[in-house]
Amino acid sequence: MSVPVLTIPGLWNSGPQHWQTYWEARHPSFRRVMQRDFDQPDRSEWVANLEMAVTDCDTPPVLAAHSLGCSLVGQWAEDCGGQGVLGAFLVAPSDVEHPDYPIEGRSFSYMPLSRLPFPSIVIASTNDQFVSVERARQFADAWGSRLVFIGDAGHINGDSGHGPWPEGEQMLLDFCASLSS
């Protein structure tokens, strides 16, 4: 695949059984956006690291974010303008405003709800413990994203049985192809 993809993990990073890790191993054009501390996120630091990763790409990438990484994409677009990317593939956005959201992620104290200046798709589950169906729909509407529910899929990570997640990989590849044509 010729389109570079920046994978953007959320809180606690994406471990060895996560789809982001599997996809990075299979696709040389996929590169993870690293953070100094995935366990105690610092919003401004994470935004700066995403901005640096985007500007370091030779050609505009697609962002493939998970969980808190989706909030990061929205915050980066608000803070930095969202230029230099082809689009965003946003999986299982977590609702940082929910009172049960893990305290470690509280530097992301609000959900950025500005329209994204690039094409995007939100992939959500109907039984995700970190976002309700209604909030996932609100995020997609606010961001101007196409919304796809994939049924009862938990938080769409390794713990919910979505390790290699070939269906998601195909959705991302199709999304990338639609952006580069």
pLDDT at position 33: 98
Percent of the chain with pLDDT over 70: 98
In this prediction, residue 181 has a pLDDT band, given cuts at 50, 70 and 90, of low
The rounded distance, in Å, linking the Cα atoms of 15 and 22 is 10
What would the pLDDT profile of 45-83 be if each residue is shown by its tens digit? Answer: 999 999 999 999 999 999 999 999 999 999 999 999 999
Q: Tokens for 77, please give them.
A: 């677009």
Q: What is the largest CA-CA distance in the chain?
A: 42
pLDDT at position 106: 78
pLDDT above 80 (res 105): no
Average pLDDT taken over every residue of the chain? 95
**Lowest mean pLDDT across 35-44, 100-109, 120-129, 167-176:** 100-109
Q: Which of the two residues, 101 and 123, has the higher pLDDT score?
A: 123
Alpha-carbon distances, residue 53 vs 63, 175, 178, 180 (angstroms)? 10, 21, 23, 20
Delineate the domains of the chain, giving CATH numbers in brackets. 5-180 (3.40.50.1820)
pLDDT at position 159: 92
Looking at residues 148-167, what average pLDDT do you find? 95
pLDDT above 80 (res 37): yes
Alpha-carbon distances, residue 101 vs 46, 89, 97, 149 (angstroms)? 18, 22, 7, 21
Amino acid identity of 120? S
Q: Tokens for 41, please give them.
A: 């996120």
| Contact between residue 5 and residue 61 where contact means Cβ atoms under 8 Å apart | yes
